[in-house]
Chain A
Amino acid sequence: MPVSWDTAPAGGGLGRLVACSEREPGRGAHQGSWTQSWGAMASVHESLYFNPMMTNGVVHANVFGIKDWVTPYKIAVLVLLNEMGRTGEGAVSLMERRRLNQLLLPLLQGPDITLSKLYKLIEESCPQLANSVQIRIKLMAEGELKDMEQFFDDLSDSFSGTEPEVHKTSVVGLFLRHMILAYSKLSFSQVFKLYTALQQYFQNGEKKTVEDADMELASREESERKMEKEELDVSIREEEVSCSGPLSQKQAEFFLSQQASLLKNDETKALTPASLQKELNNLLKFNPDFAEAHYLSYLNNLRVQDVFSSTHSLLHYFDRLILTGAESKSNGEEGYGRSLRYAALNLAALHCRFGHYQQAELALQEAIRIAQESNDHVCLQHCLSWLYVLGQKRSDSYVLLEHSVKKAVHFGLPYLASLGIQSLVQQRAFAGKTANKLMDALKDSDLLHWKHSLSELIDISIAQKTAIWRLYGRSTMALQQAQLLLSMNSLESVNAGVQQNNTESFAVALGHLAELHAEQGCFAAASEVLKHLKERFPPNSQHAQLWMLCDQKIQFDRAMNDGKYHLADSIVTGITALNSIEGVYRKAIVLQAQNQMSEAHKLLQKLLIHCQKIRNTEMVISVLLSVAELYWRSSSPTIALPVLLQALALSKEYRLQHLASETVLNLAFAQLILGIPEQALSLLHMAIEPILADGAVLDKGRAMFLVAKCQVASAASYEPLKKAAVLEAAIENLSEAKNYFAKVDCKEQIRDVVYFQARLYHTLGKTQERNRCAMLFRQLHQDLPFHGVPLINLL
């Protein structure tokens, strides 16, 4: 019997088992954790949680209540308001008025914009008003200082009268009063400065609208100065590319919050690390007190894995925050202490991110101690979940997690609670809990998410379901969940109008999708998905490692299928860089395929011990299978049996259906070699259904091939007529297996199948078919290198 499916290593099948078991080396915090989505969780954990600019995933700018100042832009808005008040009911149509009112709020709250932009906005909603606003600003800017003074004096009139135009407590009223107050606080020279700023603002706006005319009008002196200026610009350009000039307070805040949310949701859209850092440095140069910039700088440095600068920025931020906390009297001592606790906690997070677990633990202890001293339960909750992240390697860490979830619910922290539930589900799935319980838990936490619109947790939850279904070997369900995530509009995107978020969950789901397609032999589709991933998560972005690993694994599997072991060997290096355990495993497989049994055995034994220690059951089973294969390949199938039984027991216990059927295949094969094909056949009947339903194409092919072999072997003792019928059936099965193998380009297997078919046809006396198969075999045999393993050892 041709032991064809031993010449092709189990790489194709086993490769995907481990799909869920990777961890990102860069983020070693989650060592030993098993799903990719957990990686997603932890990173979300920190980018969200302790960023004071965000709460529950929503970015809030202007937390620190910075006072309003009069700027030229504000004056323009004031003019607009004034005009709106002056034009009576009839002058502006109702539709226009509504549009104007809608426009007002963003104008009042948004950052400063240029005059021409402002005109455009007003024009879009009410052209007639835009004109009058333009005229008034022109008059004011080209007039005298007294025009501006007069304007501010008149502003307060809108409150007076029996029926005032503006209510004092309305949004507009508050804005007006703020501005009037701010204006009256200005000193003499400040007023003058404001006026010159207004003139400047006006001129800049004019320049854009009428570019050409003023060149001629400009006096000689002015053009001379302009020349000089241009010259200056040329000479200075190199070093001042990014120094596009200072931003106003609101612009700076807007910039920061925008970049921060982009970093979280869609890194590719954010500025590149270098240019973002440049912008931040610029910002800090003009206002060293703008502490949030330090925090963004910290996040930015995390992107490029720069431990030194990120620590520096983080601590600087908290040093600064402590100041603002102390300054704001409303918070008082409380706010100050609070930032201290979170400072320590953030430091722990940072060290955890860089894999300095010991440091992280020390920092965490500190945070816990301070939080306990000041009875801050919320902070303690955060600490607890971090404690879990740090203590994942320990077996009892789920106790921590359970506590954490309970407490979080008690203190009304939905985010933390469902994050805890998700981690718990992960932990439990790994510990072999039944799927229905896990899914129930996830459903419950989903309820929580939808209630609190925690959109990114919803994403994570779906990604996690994908991972869990794959773990259990249900590829259809996994596929469905991945598709669900991809075609779902997340809540946030509805709000922000962004297409989709490039969060880790998406990377995970897409990675799974690629692997699932590759399993089914749809390599074109898989590479399409990978291409898309590459675009969405460029190689230097945070989540790029996820798809890189998928890519490498798919390539590896294909190389193994093709019998190009040297190619596979070169890919192993890449895999090892991304995931060391996976790398070692693959290395062993390559060695095995190259018939270097003793090296492979050594490697596998080492890996087995390591994986047992870190409780990576999936990998343990895969390794056991490989070991068993080693045994029966070295013609000692009897030793393989106990190993296989152990693997079977484990995979049944942990409900890893895919691995279980793989083990059954192996067992059946061992029985076949041991000469009890009937037994093997009955065993196969048990396993064939799940394999055909959910298994990879390669596995399906193998299963069918094995069935055929067993059929032939058991038919040996039958009477001729029955035997012929059985052999016919076997031939049918073989062609099916051949189809499967053809899908994933397993030429060696096809060769074996063809050979087998030829023999069977020969036995049945069908010469024509036999010759066709023999011809095919010959072609394939010439193409393929011969690896020294006996083609046939039993028939």
Chain B
Amino acid sequence: MAASSSVVPVAVSAAVVPALSSSGDFSNLREIKKQLLLIAGLTRERGLLHSSKWSAELAFSLPALPLSELQPPPPITEEDAQDMDAYTLAKAYFDVKEYDRAAHFLHGCNSKKAYFLYMYSRYLSGEKKKDDETVDSLGPLEKGQVKNEALRELRVELSKKHQARELDGFGLYLYGVVLRKLDLVKEAIDVFVEATHVLPLHWGAWLELCNLITDKEMLKFLSLPDTWMKEFFLAHIYTELQLIEEALQKYQNLIDVGFSKSSYIVSQIAVAYHNIRDIDKALSIFNELRKQDPYRIENMDTFSNLLYVRSMKSELSYLAHNLCEIDKYRVETCCVIGNYYSLRSQHEKAALYFQRALKLNPRYLGAWTLMGHEYMEMKNTSAAIQAYRHAIEVNKRDYRAWYGLGQTYEILKMPFYCLYYYRRAHQLRPNDSRMLVALGECYEKLNQLVEAKKCYWRAYAVGDVEKMALVKLAKLHEQLTESEQAAQCYIKYIQDIYSCGEIVEHLEESTAFRYLAQYYFKCKLWDEASACAQKCCAFNDTREEGKALLRQILQLRNQGETPSTEMPAPFFLPASLSANNTPTRRVSPLNLSSVTP
């Protein structure tokens, strides 16, 4: 690559990190490793702990460098030397969270590093005070008014420096954070983009950008630096935007070029699989991750969700105890414990733990939603609504909360009212069959069968998770006496079940066979009818009917000549129908008649 290794340290001292290899080019892993180590050091010096952690983790996943290749620490400039004492003292204070003190001693320092630490301590001090203030507010309205007092001053100072082009990558990052906290989103995005251009190695800037981008369109219009860091960013944002296929593709690429050991990537992949409900894969990856990094707490809440869905009690219990031993005052730990209690149907305790998680971090979205679920279990609908609304306030794109609100109103027997919420959830996850089935059920309750049919069909078309859409569709057709379509749906349903080969008990299987048997019987297709009737005999609830039907068929066959004896009588259906199967699977637009606010 153009950036030869020797350039790196010199450039860094000017606080600008060298031209990185362009995106998708991971040929020089050693170079990348060097850069990662460098940035880890730089961020650590500036107290940016999370970015430092991320870089170090990633660097760790790459093969170690020989001594000869290890970089000397960047040379110290004159300015740095001047501020050295103040910086050292302030950093010590900073590390023990005495931000005001640190800022006090850094006042007037000129070097970039000291200046950044100065501003950053002021920012953090403001944030800390804000959190403390919230407890002691003067009245309910003031609750929302507590804000970081330092932000405005910081903004003024930083914007002056920004206009004079005196900010380095870290300074830009801090400026961006301040802008974001002041809700100046547009400006913040611009500044973060600039920060990524100046210092592409700093993961924090990328991550902040992730939080500000709300859709794919926005992403398209950003001009991002063309570096290998961009790949990580894109993968991350695709996961955030629920573009799971793209995200997985990106992560796979990253693994292929040599980051296979990175626990970050592995965990992200697991989360992605979780998002597309590929539970088994996600579980196995998480198990792998736990083996590699047994004391990891991040993402374990997602893991516990998976265990919960699969009702793996013992594993969940083990995980909960393990995490509790590592650190019981972490948000994730509380969440895992909450899930654990929930699985044991101790919903009060579960809610308590989710509340604790929220106390630790009020912006932790998942806990609000989960708490809503717990309240639902406890039949406390109003509290559930409250929890879900909170979740939506934190993140409008939280489809689970919308879905939960819908469920709540459905339980309150307001099918029309809950349509709105399900629609919102559906908009956020257009290809999730669960919302579609829920929508369909509501329409069915409202006796809007046409809409319901559309929903079920669509749910089937996008890949039904619970395998219920087809049965429901079939029943609708049955209700509307569209026997042809009903039969087709049942056939597809049975084919689906048999093709995925699960041994899970499907209650509706017998219903399907019973209907099919009667349908063929009516159509005088004796062979098919008797095949289905025989299947019916395999189930308890339809055994008698099956037998009766068989007898009738026999009787009728004896009476008259069977019209279709030559037909080979395939297991279920004439080839024509099954051949139709694939083309009809196309996803038609879900054109619901109702207005969708």
A and B interact: yes
Q: Are A356 and B594 in contact (CB under 8 A)?
A: yes
Q: Find chain B residues with CB under 8 A from A309 CB.
A: 597
Q: Are B597 and A312 in contact (CB under 8 A)?
A: yes
Residue from the list A252, A289, A344 in contact with B416, Cβ < 8 A: A344
Q: Are B138 and A249 in contact (CB under 8 A)?
A: no
Q: Find chain A residues with CB under 8 A from B143 CB.
A: 287
Residue from the list B137, B144, B416 in contact with A366, Cβ < 8 A: B416
A522 at the interface (CB under 8 A from B): no
Q: Are A326 and B138 in contact (CB under 8 A)?
A: no
- A239 and B389 CA atoms in complex are apart in Å by 28
Q: Classify the secondary structure of A's interface with B.
A: helix
A790 at the interface (CB under 8 A from B): no
Q: Are A370 and B152 in contact (CB under 8 A)?
A: no
Q: Write out, one digit per residue, whether chain B residues 132-175 have a CB within 8 A of any chain A CB (1) or not (0).
A: 00001111111111000000110110010000000000000000
Q: Are A370 and B414 in contact (CB under 8 A)?
A: yes
**Which of B111-119, B298-306, B352-360, B378-386 lies at the interface?**
B378-386
Q: Find chain A residues with CB under 8 A from B142 CB.
A: 246
- A308 and B594 CA atoms in complex are apart in Å by 12
Q: Are B138 and A252 in contact (CB under 8 A)?
A: no
Chain A: interface residue total (CB-CB under 8 A):
58
- A323 and B388 CA atoms in complex are apart in Å by 12
Q: Are A311 and B420 in contact (CB under 8 A)?
A: yes
Q: Are B595 and A286 in contact (CB under 8 A)?
A: no
B212 at the interface (CB under 8 A from A): no
Q: Write out, one digit per residue, whether chain A residues 309-351 have a CB within 8 A of any chain B CB (1) or not (0).
A: 1111001100110110110000000001000100110010000
Residue from the list A197, A315, A316 in contact with B138, Cβ < 8 A: A197
Closest chain A CB from B539 CB (angstroms):
36
A286-B144, A287-B144, A347-B417 given; A322·B385 CB < 8 A: yes
Closest chain A CB from B413 CB (angstroms):
7
Q: Find chain B residues with CB under 8 A from A539 CB.
A: none
B184 at the interface (CB under 8 A from A): yes
Q: Find chain A residues with CB under 8 A from B312 CB.
A: none
Q: Find chain B residues with CB under 8 A from A248 CB.
A: 139, 141
A286-B145, A356-B594 given; A319·B417 CB < 8 A: no
A128 at the interface (CB under 8 A from B): no
- A228 and B405 CA atoms in complex are apart in Å by 47
Q: Which residues of A613-650 are within 8 A (CB) of B?
A: none
Closest chain A CB from B136 CB (angstroms):
5
Residue from the list B386, B415, B597 in contact with A308, Cβ < 8 A: B597
Q: Are B156 and A228 in contact (CB under 8 A)?
A: yes
B278 at the interface (CB under 8 A from A): no
Q: Find chain A residues with CB under 8 A from B140 CB.
A: 66-67, 69, 249, 287, 289
- A316 and B386 CA atoms in complex are apart in Å by 11
- A737 and B561 CA atoms in complex are apart in Å by 94
**Which of A186-194, A269-277, A748-756 lies at the interface?**
A186-194
Q: Are A370 and B413 in contact (CB under 8 A)?
A: yes
- A624 and B282 CA atoms in complex are apart in Å by 75
Q: Are B141 and A369 in contact (CB under 8 A)?
A: no
- A323 and B380 CA atoms in complex are apart in Å by 11
Can you name the residue of chain B whose Cβ is closest to the Cβ of A355? B595
Residue from the list B139, B414, B448 in contact with A340, Cβ < 8 A: B414
Q: Find chain A residues with CB under 8 A from B538 CB.
A: none
Q: Find chain B residues with CB under 8 A from A186 CB.
A: 138
Q: Are B141 and A246 in contact (CB under 8 A)?
A: yes
Q: Are B138 and A190 in contact (CB under 8 A)?
A: yes
Q: Write out, one digit per residue, whether chain A residues 175-211 have a CB within 8 A of any chain B CB (1) or not (0).
A: 0000000000011011001100100000000000000
Closest chain A CB from B287 CB (angstroms):
39
- A231 and B393 CA atoms in complex are apart in Å by 33
Closest chain B CB from A26 CB (angstroms):
15
A232 at the interface (CB under 8 A from B): yes
A117 at the interface (CB under 8 A from B): no
Q: Are B382 and A326 in contact (CB under 8 A)?
A: yes
Q: Are A187 and B136 in contact (CB under 8 A)?
A: yes
B587 at the interface (CB under 8 A from A): no
Q: Are A311 and B597 in contact (CB under 8 A)?
A: yes
- A551 and B251 CA atoms in complex are apart in Å by 66
Interface centre among B155, B593, B597 (most CB of A within 10 A): B597
Q: Are B159 and A359 in contact (CB under 8 A)?
A: no
B446 at the interface (CB under 8 A from A): yes
- A307 and B137 CA atoms in complex are apart in Å by 37
Q: Write out, one digit per residue, whether chain A residues 58-84 have a CB within 8 A of any chain B CB (1) or not (0).
A: 000000001101110000000000000
A307-B595, A307-B597 given; A249·B141 CB < 8 A: yes
Q: Write out, one digit per residue, whether chain A residues 348-365 have a CB within 8 A of any chain B CB (1) or not (0).
A: 000000101011001101
Can you name the residue of chain B whose Cβ is closest to the Cβ of A239? B184
Q: Find chain A residues with CB under 8 A from B421 CB.
A: 315
Q: Are B136 and A71 in contact (CB under 8 A)?
A: no
Q: Are A362 and B136 in contact (CB under 8 A)?
A: no
Q: Are B385 and A71 in contact (CB under 8 A)?
A: no
Q: Are B385 and A319 in contact (CB under 8 A)?
A: yes
B412 at the interface (CB under 8 A from A): yes
Q: Find chain B residues with CB under 8 A from A720 CB.
A: none
Closest chain B CB from A78 CB (angstroms):
16
Closest chain B CB from A591 CB (angstroms):
36
Q: Are B156 and A231 in contact (CB under 8 A)?
A: yes
Q: Find chain A residues with CB under 8 A from B144 CB.
A: 246, 285-288
Can you name the residue of chain B whose Cβ is closest to the Cβ of A243? B183
Q: Find chain A residues with CB under 8 A from B156 CB.
A: 228, 231-232, 235
Closest chain A CB from B487 CB (angstroms):
31
A247 at the interface (CB under 8 A from B): yes
Can you name the residue of chain A whose Cβ is closest to the Cβ of B143? A287
Q: Are B597 and A344 in contact (CB under 8 A)?
A: no
Interface centre among B385, B415, B593 (most CB of A within 10 A): B385
Closest chain A CB from B10 CB (angstroms):
37
Closest chain B CB from A333 CB (angstroms):
9
Q: Find chain B residues with CB under 8 A from A343 CB.
A: 414, 417
Q: Write out, one digit per residue, whether chain A residues 219-239 have a CB within 8 A of any chain B CB (1) or not (0).
A: 000000000100110011001
Closest chain B CB from A285 CB (angstroms):
7
- A326 and B375 CA atoms in complex are apart in Å by 14
Q: Find chain A residues with CB under 8 A from B448 CB.
A: 362
10 contacts between A and B (CB under 8 A): A66-B140, A197-B138, A235-B156, A286-B141, A310-B597, A319-B389, A336-B382, A356-B595, A362-B448, A365-B416
List 20 additional A-B contacts (Cβ < 8 Å) besides A69-B138, A359-B416, A369-B413.
A70-B138, A71-B138, A186-B138, A190-B136, A228-B156, A232-B155, A235-B159, A246-B145, A285-B144, A290-B141, A315-B417, A315-B420, A319-B389, A320-B389, A323-B389, A343-B417, A347-B417, A354-B595, A358-B594, A370-B413
5 shortest A-B CB distances, which residue pairs? A326-B382, A69-B139, A311-B597, A286-B144, A308-B597
Binding site for B on A (CB under 8 A): 66-67, 69-71, 186-187, 189-190, 193-194, 197, 228, 231-232, 235-236, 239, 246-249, 252, 285-290, 307-312, 315-316, 319-320, 322-323, 325-326, 336, 340, 343-344, 347, 354, 356, 358-359, 362-363, 365-366, 369-370
